[in-house]
Every structure is written in structure tokens, then in C-alpha cells.
Amino acid sequence: MADENQASKSGRSWLVAALPLIVFLVLAGIFYKQLAAGGSTSDLPSVLIGREAPRTELPALEGLREAGVQVPAFSFELFKGKVSLVNVWASWCAPCRQEHPLLVELGKADNVQIIGLNYKDKNENALRFLGQLGNPYDAVGVDNNGRGAIEWGVYGVPETFIIGPQGKIIHKHVGPLTPQAMQQTILPIIEKAKSDIAG
């Protein structure tokens, strides 16, 4: 009887010791499968893909002007009939600063409107950020309490969404945009969405 108890304890302690390795191998298998299929950890699935964008209404970033006119607020109405890129950003976010030149460059093109969701930021800091680095945004909404980001299922900043002309989310990119992500993923999706309007 004592031998059976000892064997049972030995078996359980082996399982407890092996559990972290088993979990690691399962996770490694999932990541490998995603990478082998051409996926990226930046392109995480979202329950919102294929659904209508949240009808989030956020106030404008007061004092942000283009040609002397206040830049509009964040509204679902902006998405109708256009291809839009929604970028969740903050002045305190170092990766946002890293990706910003790519957004400024994209903002020079006429093929997409860029809408900013300014997340838990101070108004003066957000204005200073855009004043120093340039403003790529056609509209900016201020999300002081983070409610808007929750509606969009945001994990953290920066995140970027592409919205089709019917107001549906067609892509989500988690983390800072990179030149590679822009060339291989973001720009082709924008171009396809644009051709869907023409078609």
C-alpha cells in the first residue's frame, strides 16, 4: 500500500514538473503554425473583423487646425463611402513616435483617410507631438477615459485598423507599423478596398 502511494505521488510530481514544458510546446506549436502560414504576431485576430466599426463618437482634439480650420472629431459617419485607417496613438507612447513618419507619408496620398484615436493623453502633449512630427490625421478624437478604445477592442497603443467603404473593419494591426508591414499588408489591403469602391 505504501508503495502504491509512493508511486502515485511520484507520478503526480512528474506531471507537475512537466506541465510548464507541455504548455510551452503547445504555445510554440501555435506560433509556428501561424508563422508557417505567413501570419504575423502583429496581425492578431479580432472579433470585430468583418463587422461594422463601433459607432464611437469622440470629441475633437481642441486646437488642432489645418489651414486655420479645426480638425474634425471622431465619428462613424466619417467612414461612409471611404477607405479609412484608424490609428490609436498617444504622445507618451514611444512606438507611436516610431511609426509616425509612416503615417505622415501615407497621409500625403489621396487613397485613404487617416483618423486618429488619441488615447488617454493630455491635450497640450498631443498637440505638441503633432506639431513636432506632423499631422497625418484627417480627423482626431480624444479618448480621455479609454472608453472608445474598449469599444474598438484595443489591447494597447499603437494599434491600427483599416475600415472599408461600407464602414466594416477589414484589418487590425497590433503594435507599431513598420515599412515591411506597410508594403506587404497595409497598402495592398487599402488598394483592394479602393478597387472595391470602383468595382
Comparing 6-10, 63-67, 69-73, which segment has the lowest mean pLDDT?
Answer: 6-10
Residue 96 pLDDT level (bands cut at 50, 70, 90): very high
Q: Which pLDDT score, from 0 to 100, does residue 14 have? A: 60
Residue 195 pLDDT level (bands cut at 50, 70, 90): confident
Average pLDDT score over residue span 56-72? 97
Q: Per DSSP, what are the bridge partners of residue 111?
A: none
SS3 190: helix
Residue 29 has pLDDT above 60, yes or no: no
Residues 159, 136: Cα–Cα separation, whole Å: 15
Residue 196 pLDDT level (bands cut at 50, 70, 90): confident
Q: Report the Cα–Cα distance between both ends of the chain, in Å, rounded.
A: 78
Residues 55, 79: Cα–Cα separation, whole Å: 10
Which residue did the predictor score with more confidence, 35 or 155?
Answer: 155
Average pLDDT score over residue span 32-47? 47
Residue 178 has pLDDT above 90, yes or no: yes
Average pLDDT score over residue span 173-195? 95
Average pLDDT score over residue span 85-90? 98
Q: Which pLDDT score, from 0 to 100, does residue 18 have? A: 60
Alpha helices of the chain — where are they, by DSSP H? 2-36, 94-107, 123-133, 147-151, 179-181, 187-198
Residues 165, 198: Cα–Cα separation, whole Å: 11
pLDDT digits (tens, 9 = 90+) for 99-114: 999 999 999 988 899 9
- Please, which residues have CB within 8 angstroms of residue 21's CB and are 6 or more apart in sequence? none
Residues 122, 125: Cα–Cα separation, whole Å: 5
Q: Which pLDDT score, from 0 to 100, does residue 16 have? A: 57
Residue 5 pLDDT level (bands cut at 50, 70, 90): low
Q: Which pLDDT score, from 0 to 100, does residue 39 have? A: 43
